[in-house]
Chains A and B, each alone.
Chain A
Amino acid sequence: MKTLTKTWLAAVAAAILVSTLTTSAQAGDLKDASQIVNRTNEAQYYAANDGRALVRMKIVDGKGRSQRRQFAVLRRDLKDGGDQNYLVVFDQPADVRNTAFLVKKHASKDDDRWLYLPGLDLVKRIAASDERTSFVGTHFFYEDISGRHPDEDKHELLETTETEYVVKSTPKSSKGVEFAHYTLRINKKTFLPSKIEYVNAQGKVYRRIETAKVDTVQGQPTITRLKVSDLESGGYTLSDVSNVGYDLGIPDDIFVEGSLRNPPQKWLR
């Protein structure tokens, strides 16, 4: 009986594999919106077991004035879709160079965060903050950078096109969110979002995140260029990711206070 089940499972697995390898996209389509969003969350924020990237951002306000941010990020996943450790070291603008963040992201409770201010040599623990406020003065929110937990929203599959899933996500609680819902266009192959539009209570799209470029790095589809637009002010932020590396073997013991003061160059470069 057991063997029979196993064989049967193997056959199904083979069939799925064949169907995705051949053109039959329809047959492999997912129907469950939550499952799609979970896969998106993992593809976007949990690629491989660890990763490194150099991020450049250009912030343009409604009047066309621009600013820069540049930082290096190290990430290590403790559990896919769950806890993660991040180390972020700033390089630009000049007045915040060597400022560093250590984030211990928790799936089920507030993140633990530390900030290092190099001038004072001060490691400051930061209180939990509103996730939907500007990340270091950009049009990105903290939540866009570290990911919004899929369980916080109700997901509904609106449409399945040739290449994309269109999912509408409505917050379970309106506390701490400024949107009524948002729609995600998700690439069927990579499970990366190509466009996210946030809709306010008046039914108007006021904020948009667009993927401009996806590269495959070490077999991992990776968003390397993003644009987030504040449609009300006309401002936007562009983000460009380079020097991407996965499964570098970043040890867990670098996500400590000492790494804020003296960033681990071995992994950052």
Chain B
Amino acid sequence: MKPTICRTKQCRAGVPSLRCLAVAATVFAALALASGAFAQEAPRAEEVLEAEAEGPVDEAAVAESPRELAGEVEPVEEAQDDEDWGEFDDWDEEDGADSGGSSGGRAWDFQIGGFVEGLIAPRVVRSSASANEFVASEARFRLNLDATHEVVSARFRGDVFADAVARRIWFDIRDASIFVRGGSWFSMRFGRQVLTWGTGDFLFLNDLFPKDFNSFFIGRADEYLKAPSNSVQTTFMMKKVGLDLIWTPIFEPDRFIDGQRLSFFNPLVGEIIGDRSPLTPIEPLFPDQRLRNGTVHGRLYGTAGVVELAAYGYVGHWMQPNALSLTDPADPSTIAGLTYARLAVYGASLRAPLLGGLFNVEGAFYDSFTDRAGTSPATPNSQFRGLVGYERELFPKFQMGLQYYLEYTLEHDELIARSFWPQYEPHEFRHLITLRLNQLLVMDKLEVSLFVFFSPDELDTYIRPRITYKIAEPLAIAIGANLMFGRDQYTFFGQLQQNTNVYARLRYSF
């Protein structure tokens, strides 16, 4: 078994993306052609309505008389852009206007959209590990395409961005997928897609879909915390119970912090390393692209009154390269690289309204089944992870959310006894508290928000303040900071302290 070595996380995101782009372009060209054919065949809307009214009336939806249909349902023949909506007086002239949205019973609806965005994020602390004073300096173009039909739809979300920190241009396809509905009880989505589930707020227990932690810490929009994967999602609905099964044939790990852009603590050398270090970027040994290395995610969910319940399952790998590949299992100097150990996760969650707010609880057992006894220092131990949260609106448009998260590492004594660097291992119980405050002002155009992570046992913190303002309809600005502090430089957030940054992001949507 010769492991495939991927040089950087981005090569996985970049190279298949070009292939995806070609596939997506072909799909859209085919759909566009198909819709052209439909449009030619389809009679004019008025004719359709008249024909329906003359024919046998077998649907409850059909109104009583042809006159009513023609006069009041107002068939939309052509979508006309209505930039000058004007006052009431102007409205009559614009009857039937519809700005390209969904309406009128056409076979296919097409939508195009996206944004252009600039982001700049300088470090505001001195960094000995990183040569670059910026964690981000990039210009991004996003294209969204949607082709929607009653039972089938195709979706494309692609980014192109010029990145002055990495000194290159990236192509990142976030979505290129086709959705098929097979009645009310079954649906499927094929292709590249972003997937999320679970009840936590910025804390993911049962969500083992890929995340991009670089994006999270450098001021990119929240959506970039989630990375896409090439997957097949099937959903079965039975009354109040749903079942999602997701298969990712080729393992897609997190876009983890590899030292290039953001520095982190390396226990091997006992210090924070960044792009100045010859040890970066971290290039983990990637599992073979074989079927057995793919991942399977399942969720069974339903409601009991107002209470939402869900059970989750996962079989695959740890999403971060937190296992060591050793030539001699007892000798840390023989490290060939980092790798992804096998993992299964079983969990459950509950969410319900409580005292005018929302309460949630979630638990997950991380079964690191290749080393259940915890005797191998090269493999992470099994863990129990738990979360309790509560959120409510304290004042109009002011939301508060609190979470308590616990990570319990099993066989901790074994871990400490056998670890190559016991002084850097996390505690048996790692606690984390989060606080979210959100205020909407000025007719929802101004959002002031704060999110804080704090660990009372590791004594580190991560503070995310942000102000977002919609300057004028398509233009929005976000100013914020990513502040990481810690007593020690080897803890979860403490290791990121040299990356503390402020950022400004300007977005024009279309």
Q: Which residues of A contact B (CB under 8 A)?
A: 54, 56, 58-59, 61, 65-68, 70, 72, 89, 91-95, 97-98, 110, 112, 117, 119-123, 125-130, 132-134, 136-139, 212-213, 215-219, 225, 227, 235, 238, 240, 242-245, 247-249, 251, 253-254, 256-258, 262, 264-266, 268-269
Please tell me which stretch of B105-113, B314-322, B334-342, B368-376 contacts chain A, meaning at least 4 of its Cβ atoms lie within 8 angstroms of it.
B105-113
Residues of A within 8 A of B291 (CB): none
Task: Decide: A125 and B474 in contact? CB cutoff 8 A.
Answer: no
Of A129, A212, A247, which one neighbours B60 at CB under 8 angstroms? A247
Q: Which residues of B contact A (CB under 8 A)?
A: 59-61, 63-64, 68, 72-74, 76, 85, 87-88, 91, 96, 98-99, 101-106, 109, 111, 113-115, 144, 146, 148-151, 153, 179, 181, 184, 187, 189, 193-197, 221-223, 225-226, 235, 237, 239, 242, 301, 306, 308, 351, 353, 356-358, 391-393, 395-397, 399, 443-445, 472-474, 476, 507, 509-510
Q: Are A94 and B115 in contact (CB under 8 A)?
A: yes
Q: Which residues of B contact A138 (CB under 8 A)?
A: 443
Measured CB to CB, the nearest residue on chain A to B390 is A127
4 tightest CB-CB pairs across the interface, nearest first? A119-B223, A137-B444, A130-B396, A95-B509
For the complex with contacts A92-B101, A243-B76, 10 further pairs of A-B residues with Cβ separation under 8 Å are A56-B85, A95-B507, A119-B226, A128-B357, A130-B393, A137-B443, A218-B64, A225-B88, A248-B60, A258-B235
Q: A120 is contacted by which of B184, B222, B391 (Cβ under 8 Å)? A: B222
- The answer to whether A215 and B72 have CB atoms under 8 Å apart is yes
Q: Is the CB of A97 within 8 A of B357?
A: no
| B179→A269 contact, CB < 8 A | no
Q: How far is the CA of A16 from the CA of B98 in the complex (A)?
A: 43
Q: How far is the CB of B134 from chain A (nearest CB, A)?
A: 24
Q: In the docked arrangement, what's the CA distance between A89 and B153, Å?
A: 16
CB-based contact A269/B99 at 8 Å:
no
Set A72, A121, A244, A254: member contacting B226, Cβ < 8 A: A121
For residue B187, which residues in chain A have a CB less than 8 angstroms away from its CB?
258, 262
> Closest Cβ of chain A: how far from B452's Cβ, in Å?
19
Determine the residue in chain A with the shortest Cβ distance to B444: A137
Least CB distance from A93 to B in Å reads 6
Considering the chains assembled together, what is the distance between the CA atoms of A94 and B189 in angstroms? 24
Q: Given that A93-B509, A97-B144, A127-B358 are contacting pairs, would A54 and B101 also be in contact in the complex, using a CB cutoff of 8 Å?
A: yes
For the complex, give the distance between the alpha carbons of A266 and B184 in Å: 11
Residues B103 and A242 in contact, CB atoms below 8 Å apart:
yes
- Is the CB–CB distance between A70 and B99 below 8 Å? yes
Asked whether A249 lies within 8 Å of B87 as measured between CB atoms, the reply is no
Query: Which residues of B are found within 8 Å of A217, using beta-carbon distances?
Result: 63, 72-73
Q: Can you list 19 A-B pairs, Cβ within 8 angstroms, ordered by A? A: A54-B103, A70-B101, A93-B474, A95-B507, A117-B223, A120-B194, A120-B196, A127-B399, A128-B357, A128-B393, A130-B397, A218-B63, A240-B85, A240-B91, A242-B98, A243-B74, A245-B61, A248-B60, A265-B102
Indicate if the CB atoms of B73 and A120 lie closer than 8 Å: no
Point out the residues of chain B lying under 8 angstroms from A54, CB to CB. Answer: 98, 101-103
Contact A269 B235 (CB under 8 A): no
Residues of B with C-beta under 8 A to A134: 397, 443-444
In the bound complex, residues from chain B placing their C-beta under 8 Å from that of A266 are 150-151
Residues from chain B with a CB closer than 8 A to the CB of A67 are 473
Q: A94-B113, A248-B61 are in contact. Are A129 and B393 (CB under 8 A)?
A: yes
- Bound CA–CA A187/B402 (angstroms): 48
* CA A120 to CA B201, docked complex, whole Å: 12
Is A61 touching B443 in the complex (CB atoms < 8 A)? yes
CA distance A216 to B111 in the complex (A): 31
Q: A127-B356, A127-B391 known; A65 and B184 CB under 8 Å?
A: no
The residues of A that contact B443 with a CB separation of less than 8 Å are 59, 61, 134, 137-139, 235
Pairwise interchain contact B476-A95, C-beta atoms closer than 8 A? yes
- In whole angstroms, how far apart are the Cα atoms of A137 and B509 in the complex? 17
Closest residue of chain B to A52, judged by CB?
A: B61
How many Å lie between the Cα of A244 and that of B85 in the bound state?
Answer: 19
Q: What's the Cα separation between A251 and B60 when bound, in Å?
A: 13
What separation, in Å, do the CA atoms of A59 and B472 have in the docked complex? Answer: 12
Assess whether A121 is in contact with B196, with CB atoms less than 8 Å apart.
yes
- Among B85, B111, B179, max chain A CB count under 10 A is at B85
On chain B, the residues within 8 Å of A92 by CB distance are: 99, 101
Residues in A neighbouring B193, C-beta threshold 8 A:
121
Q: Which residues of B contact A89 (CB under 8 A)?
A: 102
Closest to A57 in B: B85
Q: With CB as the reference atom, state the residue of chain A lying closest to B360.
A: A125
